[in-house]
Chains A and B, each alone.
Chain A
Amino acid sequence: MCGIAGFFFDDRQRSTEDTSLRAMIGAIHHRGPDGVGFHVEPGVGLGHARLSIIDLAGGAQPLANEDDSVWITYNGEVFNYVELREWLLTRGHTFKTHSDTEVIVHLYEELGDRFVDQLNGQFAFALWDRRQRRLLLVRDRAGILPLYYAEFPGGIAFASEVKALLAAKWIKPELDPTGLDELFTFWAPVAPRTVFRNVMQLQPGEMMIVGERQRHKQTYWSWAFPTQGEHRRAPQGQLQAELREVLADATALRLRADVPVGAYLSGGLDSSSLVALLKEKVPDTLHTFSIGFDDADLDESGFQQQVAARLKTQHHHMQCSHEDIARNFPATIRHAESPVLRTAPAPMRLLSGSVRKSDIRVVLTGEGADEVFGGYDIFKEAKVRQFWARNPSSAWRPALLKRLYPYLDITSAQSSAYLREFFGVGLDNPADPCFAHLPRWATTAQCKLFFADEWRAQIDGTAVERFRSGLPRMQSWDAFNRGEFVEARTLLPSYLLSSQGDRMLMASSIEGRFPFLDHRVIEFANRLHPSYKMRVLREKHLLKETMRPSLPSEIVGRHKQPYRAPDAAAFLGDNAPGYVKELLGADRLKQYGYFDPGKVSRLIAKLQRARVSAPRDNMAFVGVLSTQLWHATFVEGCGDL
């Protein structure tokens, strides 16, 4: 992957400032340490920071077609570029390089705006058609790679990261109250919104066409599901064979690189499945990387070692302590460019750093399998709640929730009255497209208790209502599919692939690749009846059965463990770094104006004396601290604290 940045002026006579472009690319040097390139002409600037993965000698950018009428600056990989190139050669195109990037300009010449349908990959790019004076900004289908833009008087700027937009000085760094409100509800603002006021992002699967005083967006791909009753059903053996074939091909395509490729291994079903598929293609030395924690509840080292031993990989393990998280948290926020409610991105950045120390430059990960194959507890929870909603007065229907959350048994708080309050949110409207997510969002939104009153007053409406009003019609879809769609629109692109994904990988100049998010895999899974994903309350049924022969039985049979890292505890010990106390002190809280100092001080006191650390107190603490860090970093311009 790489970094891109550039701008377009509505007035073609406006002089183009080369220095702005250089500053923008300089701000995202970490995304592409292997070289920089610029193309500037009246009204347009394209910049590129290169991480060399394919065609190491010839892939410099920005690059153009045969007659320099189409230019591109491009971040990502088109994995089927070999096949596309062969086809374009038969159509008479001449290539100057062997890169996947050049395929795109010729494909655009050949097919116009529909060229993007032919791309299998992960990408964010700007394509400049100088004859028509139009700039296309395009983001990949699943939202693996980021693409931000900001409009300013007389033009628009775009970049892989917001810090590049800020470097051009056309916009001021300010926190957007509505963006933060969404983050404190969904864990991240929903595209096109970001936490920066006046900075937007393309949605996954979206293209923006920029002309002089014209901006037009269109969706070229979206998660879509069959109408209820029209799902695909077939003998399970046949579906397993088909799934194995499409996954194997998605994995093989993602091995195309001119640098060594490895994999992340968490010890769960998804990454273990991926490593098993990879091992078939890379029979010799396959490098796998994993992270472990001192807290036994969060640590998966045993499972990681088990899979590495069974599949005979060259395994690299790193242990992450509380101190590691606290020390690296400011840099994590600088790279994520967003507050977060969990510390989980911090260890991911340390993990990519450990990959960088090896020869590996590309890692495949299992991200996306939970969304595509129905792995999250929230999907099970929604299934039980749908069942309960048919008879809301039933005492035993909600008791099924105890199967999902065995810890409820500990407290005896499992009486139907309690379950009704915790999980009964929205029970009166099971057709609501957000039905599956309402309990989780309601819990997260409790963190807004800490907002300062003046800040809260600036929020425009409620996050859930805003989100709901932007959803497509999906009443004809199965409830399970509606939950998958909402997940794919919210947490996946805006948090998992961004704050916890692209940003933490690119912080160490490592490229991540995601076979489960190959659009052919998504489309295959989306056509299936939900029972192939969730069999009664057993998640990822088809994927498990497909991969069972290749994996230890303990891995296939284990309950899904969400990836989590130590939260508030990492910042409250005797060795906590000085920035924590400084940023959470009453003076600094009052100065920034986002949070109520009295409430924050009580929260800290509670966490320090608590023997049971409530998840929402942890989320609130990490949210407050990371927002303060965000302000210090981007508004005050502090380096890493």
Chain B
Amino acid sequence: MSTALHDQIRSFILENYLFTNDPSALALDDSLLGRGIVDSTGMLEIIYFIEEQLGVKVADQDMIPDNLDSVNRIAKYVQSKR
């Protein structure tokens, strides 16, 4: 289910990694790593985004693909920490 949070996360990734505003370019379950959308520096930027735009501090042990590798996973992680 797409919520405002999902849309916000997807927009950030579309704008910063796929350089488009076309939502069809990224499905909510698409793997960011598997599709080569982010690299190691990209992960750093996503963490900045979560902390500063979404207001959730990401602990070291949480920086794993289970939490960060798709729009759905990031949204789920952020909701669990709010």
Contacts and interface: CB of A to CB of B under 8 A. Distances in A.
Contacts of A611: 48
A614 B37 CA distance: 12
Nearest to A604: B19
Contacts of A408: 40
Contact of A449 (B19, B43, B60): B19
Contacts of A422: 33, 39-40
Contact of B20 (A412, A415, A418, A602): A602
Given A417-B65, A611-B48, A598 B33 contact: no
Contact of B41 (A442, A602, A614): A614
Interface residues of A, number: 30
B64 interface: yes
B45 A612 contact: yes
Contacts, number: 67
Contacts of B34: 421
B15 interface: yes
B18 A449 contact: yes
Nearest to A407: B40
B39 A412 contact: no
Interface in B30-44: 33-34, 36, 39-44
A606 B43 CA distance: 15
Nearest to A418: B65
Contacts of B42: 614
Interface in B4-56: 15-16, 18-20, 33-34, 36, 39-45, 47-48
A413 B20 contact: no
A614 B19 contact: no
Contacts of A296: none
A283 B15 CA distance: 59
B80 to A, nearest CB: 18
Q: Which of B34, B39, B65 has the most CB of A within 10 A?
A: B39
A603 B19 CA distance: 6
A415 B64 contact: yes
A614 B64 contact: no
Contacts of A606: 15-16, 19
Nearest to B63: A412
A224 B77 CA distance: 53
B48 A612 contact: yes
A132 interface: no
A615 interface: yes
A68 B28 CA distance: 75
Given A421-B34, A446-B36, A450-B19, A614 B45 contact: yes
A443 B39 contact: yes
Contacts of A421: 33-34, 65
A417 B39 contact: no
A613 B48 CA distance: 13
Interface in A75-123: none
Contact of B47 (A411, A598, A599): A411
A606 B48 CA distance: 14
A590 to B, nearest CB: 16
A450 B40 CA distance: 20
A610 B45 contact: yes
Nearest to B32: A421
A408 B41 CA distance: 9
A60 B76 CA distance: 76
Nearest to A598: B20
A522 B15 CA distance: 47
B19 A418 contact: no
Interface of A: 407-408, 410-413, 415, 417-418, 421-422, 442-443, 446, 449-450, 596, 598-600, 602-603, 606, 610-616
Interface of B: 15-16, 18-20, 33-34, 36, 39-45, 47-48, 60-61, 63-65
6 contacts: A411-B63, A412-B60, A412-B63, A418-B40, A421-B33, A606-B15
